[in-house]
Structure 1
């Protein structure tokens, strides 16, 4: 038996090896095997595959422009991968200069009768258009593509903008076999080099090349030549509970720190936070607006102005701005900021609304400071040095005694002390023109919970009736308020849609207003079975379900699971029945499951008495952010959550 097992193991290994596709991932040249091979075993879901790609950037010795030569070799596995034959290249431009593109070459390779047939891109099929005021778009589509085609395209970008040294994306939404980038940087330019993402470099080599750059005056500079490469890079697949994918895509970025001229002059591009704070104070948009004074008597009632309790006054001022001014949807924080226009039109962008809130609070002698942040969809701000362009949002921080509150008046459903979910991106930068700015954690400090208490009666005519009481806090409450208050009929209809046989009556919301710090509701329910005449009745005990599907479907995940906030779900059920008519044939089995290091848990229990079934179900996510190594545990936990809410309570009808 041991010999048979060994033989089978060897055969299995040989079979797997035979399935390895013979793509030539070490060269830009296309082979017949590249075209003939029609699969990719490492990722059977892939529609396309980068076989080989390379980039090379260097400074021209004559014009001192930055040249970047780029090559891509891509396999189109099926028709859904054809979109990767559409190429778009974005070129940066300023008022006085612009990037140029040269030497565009693109070829489609097909297998015809065992021969490689080439189809070349024609120059007339290359299009150029103005994308926006700072971008020109060059685009083309590879000709004669088919399932199995291999496409290659190459070009050269010439840029006068050394402050924008070309970066390199190792990872994309399709897998890559080999991706390489070479960078040659003269010593005159000093850059911050940042490797982003979870993937590791397979090649990271550097050397100094002497006198690589010779100036017209005879001065020379050495170059730092680097080669970076990754192999077998998995496709990045987006999934629920993450911030923008740009936070995690494997890539190299460069940020110019300092330029040293041959004449000894030095120009600093990357600033310190001290210098940035000084610039922000005099900046013509938000800096100027933050310094503006407002007349409280023109805006607030005497009751608010004369309020002596600092917290009550702050809450009243926040409510005033929240109710009186409407966000126009713009995230602009360094453009079109005007609290004067906001007061006149009652509508403005994020900065205008929250700077007005800031200025009113300051005039009312409340300790308040603006906070710059980057929203979840905008990416993480750079922490080790200031990059002001990373920020796209502004909120305010209020300190009263020992308590700190973050406020955003753009959302009319927010409770005092809440900020929108879009802002939950780990940290913000508090701007203090006197003491200096600093990073601050903006993780919510208030709990987010959902709780349902359900009491049902199984009537003798095989119908179910009872009551449901629900209470939500935090972001669960915020979502419920946004769903209910604009259209309560639609809210109730959606509740009933979740259970086709369920009728809801006497729905009542106990929350005082759309800015209440919770959302409480109660309603009566009536439920009919699809087939009430059979002896066995299958009753799903969850009138309200927390999760209907598992959001975690990947085999493994290389980026964090970011819920935005910690939360808890709680559900109880009491089901009464006549023991002369019914008996419990099968009750749910109890479940206790915990994530390592007390990061989360589920608990499910049931008890059957003579005329009553009691169920208790609790889910806890104790952290807002989980590292990738917790993904298998969260996936298993959510599988169990869905399974618990799917299983039915089985009752036997005696008569």
Structure 2
């Protein structure tokens, strides 16, 4: 990485500026604080983005060849402490050969009305190595406080012309104006992909430019597009969302290839197979798993390993318990040899799971690296082949006719369950022949909880005893056991439960992790609710979905359930002698119009027992926000059914 001067940027530019919006860093006036409805925005927003302007331009440098210039400009009014956290620091990731330049100011409005500023530049930041291929610039922006305006421009000059950066028009905070310009010569196969819910205006133009080198000259056409949007609302926090940026209005860009001056076409990572061969198989640390590494004997030792699920589990445990995770993803390529990793006894996710693949292969299994993007980084677009789409590696094991996904960073996790952070749409399997093949992580497992409750009523003592059993499987198990401290969980649960049911007394509460499931057992005593010789019971009061989780009238983001669902809740009521049952709970089924969500409730009687069973099934994991009204109505209907009571009427 080298510091970039403005003169260097201008030196490679062979054509003049265009009609996109101009900005000048260092010019802020009192009018920038005079935002319409600002007092109302302060109540719901952390900041207001006044202007956000960008440019990606490809131009020819007679010394270096084609170069990509990226400009980013932002002017934002910070409203509160969260806004300070969001805009008080810069963390910029870029290719290690890129040139980077930053210039900006923070502005404060004094009581006298004078605008006071403080400047910051690239030299105020700190450069660190991010991965083998990428660096990052970390810069603390000075004097950011409430009612401060932060303004800066970022310029990156890169020889990696394939990496045209996306432009995100929307934010979690409102955006008053956003614009992005792309300028590409005629030689480039350039594509743009829209995502979002709000309109983006596009203006097109073209012109002619020239290259004047010492040995040749060339005249060519270029194409310009200016994308712009105004007054975009912020995206609020909402339940059942993955990453807010997945819902933002944005454009993604791709250069699939280019023609040289002799009209020969050159693909630029035109598909994922090419990326695997050129970016991964050329990396000596990445391909360690393909070799018969004797150093892996230090992990496997003399343990006898059968070619079965049980044997693979043994290898998985040996790796996960001997190499600690340092909490770093490590992007997708290791930064250590196996020998150093084993000696250090700690490493990144990329290093540990690459080692797991190697150890499984050493033991005779078929295993492969799998590349994914974690949930906090957004989904991978399989149709835009870029190595930068990924930031994490797990392992795919093929054994006994099954596909099993593994992540050895979590030693307490059951075999075959990957952490929630990894469950994020599609992931790329790195086959030995570099064939492009994907696995859908979100449908790999479902989220299952099977619950049963048995009510035993003693009318004379006016007591109800409830025995509750819950078994969590799949994604629900992952959620439950990740970072689980059983003692603290029990303590916190008891506090929440007795807060909701003030008459409740929890007599016993146990958690057992068994195989691929977690079993939770409770015994609870409560006071009978009765009047006029009638005992009232709410059979589904311990079902999580007795209340509709979707309360807002409007939805901004898609609904992400992470995976398909199966929630079963069965209630058995032991009817005391001398009592009869009255209830409005009847057999019913609700299904959404697309058949992807269903709710079923049944009622039956066996001897002195009345049994009620409810089941929620969700066959898909992600729904567009346009389906929100129907999903809200579905859970309204579920809440209505689960709120019904059972009445035990004394025959005396």
Give the aligned partner of residue 11 of structure 1: none
Higher deviation after alignment, 258-267 or 548-557: 258-267
CA separation of 1:170 and 1:324: change in aligned 2, threshold 3 A: same
Q: CA deviation at 1:346?
A: 4.6
Structure 1 CA distance, aligned partners of 2:311 and 2:496? 43
Match of 1:129 among 116, 125, 129: 125
Q: Is the 2:534–2:650 contact (alpha carbons within 8 Å) kept by the matching residues of 1? A: yes
Q: Is the 2:456–2:573 contact (alpha carbons within 8 Å) kept by the matching residues of 1? A: yes
CA separation of 1:635 and 1:338: change in aligned 2, threshold 3 A: farther
Once the two structures are superposed, what CA deviation does each residue of 1:415-440 show, in whole Å capped at 9, x if it has no partner? 43333322222222222223634223
Give the aligned partner of residue 546 of structure 1: 544
Q: Please show how residues 191-590 of structure 1 align to structure 2 within 5 Å.
A: 192-195=190-193, 197-211=195-209, 218-255=217-254, 257-258=256-257, 269-270=268-269, 272-279=271-278, 280-294=280-294, 300=300, 304-305=304-305, 307=306, 310-332=308-330, 333-344=332-343, 346-400=345-399, 402-434=401-433, 436-445=435-444, 447-459=446-458, 460-481=460-481, 487=486, 489-500=487-498, 501-505=503-507, 507=509, 514=513, 516-528=515-527, 539-542=537-540, 544-547=542-545, 550-557=548-555, 559-578=557-576
Q: Is the 1:85–1:142 contact (alpha carbons within 8 Å) kept by the matching residues of 2? A: no
Higher deviation after alignment, 221-230 or 78-87: 78-87
Give the aligned partner of residue 98 of structure 1: 99
Q: Is the 2:445–2:563 contact (alpha carbons within 8 Å) kept by the matching residues of 1? A: no
Structure 1 CA distance, aligned partners of 2:61 and 2:116? 32
Q: CA deviation at 1:136?
A: 3.6
Q: Is the 2:236–2:556 contact (alpha carbons within 8 Å) kept by the matching residues of 1? A: no
CA separation of 1:584 and 1:290: change in aligned 2, threshold 3 A: same
Q: Is the 2:449–2:476 contact (alpha carbons within 8 Å) kept by the matching residues of 1? A: yes
Give the aligned partner of residue 622 of structure 1: 619
Question: Which of the pair has more CA radius of gyration?
Answer: 1
Q: Is the 2:30–2:115 contact (alpha carbons within 8 Å) kept by the matching residues of 1? A: no
Q: CA deviation at 1:225?
A: 1.0
RMSD between superposed Cα atoms in Å: 4.7
Mind listing any 5+ residue stretches in structure 1 that lack a counterpart?
1-25
Structure 2 CA distance, aligned partners of 1:261 and 1:578? 87
Q: CA deviation at 1:464?
A: 0.8
Once the two structures are superposed, what CA deviation does each residue of 1:304-357 show, in whole Å capped at 9, x if it has no partner? 34x4x6444434434444455443433224133443344445544333433333
CA separation of 1:85 and 1:351: change in aligned 2, threshold 3 A: closer
Higher deviation after alignment, 407-416 or 156-165: 156-165
Q: Is the 2:530–2:536 contact (alpha carbons within 8 Å) kept by the matching residues of 1? A: no
TM-score, normalised to structure 1, is: 0.76
Structure 2 CA distance, aligned partners of 1:303 and 1:82? 54
Q: Is the 1:196–1:249 contact (alpha carbons within 8 Å) kept by the matching residues of 2? A: no
Q: CA deviation at 1:108?
A: 7.0
Q: CA deviation at 1:516?
A: 0.3
Q: Is the 1:52–1:177 contact (alpha carbons within 8 Å) kept by the matching residues of 2? A: yes
Q: CA deviation at 1:569?
A: 1.4
Structure 2 CA distance, aligned partners of 1:49 and 1:385? 31
Mind listing any 5+ residue stretches in structure 2 that lack a counterpart?
1-20, 130-134
Structure 2 CA distance, aligned partners of 1:156 and 1:482? 39
Aligned to 2:450, the other structure's residue is in SS state: strand
